[in-house]
Amino acid sequence: MKNKKIITTKKGYEALFYFIEKFYEMTKSDALGEILSGMEYLEDGKSAEPLLWDYWLEAIEKAELKGGLPVKELR
């Protein structure tokens, strides 16, 4: 993949927030709104819902172990 960027775990989390926010703006999905609310930072800089940060770290580990996303076959 060209233009490969290396970003921090925190920057990736923030990028994910904005990615989900885009879909929330288009759909007004309550589920996405709840996720976004939990992802926001509190004044201490931690996630409003600490489990979401833990899930994010698990997702990073999974991506590292699997080496990428599954390839979808087009028929």
Coil vs helix vs strand at 25: helix
pTM passes above 0.75? yes
Distance CA 18, CA 56 (A): 14
pLDDT digits (tens, 9 = 90+) for 20-70: 999 999 999 999 999 999 999 999 999 999 999 999 999 999 999 998 888
In angstroms, what CA-CA distances link 74 with 67, 68, 69, 70, 71?
21, 18, 15, 13, 10
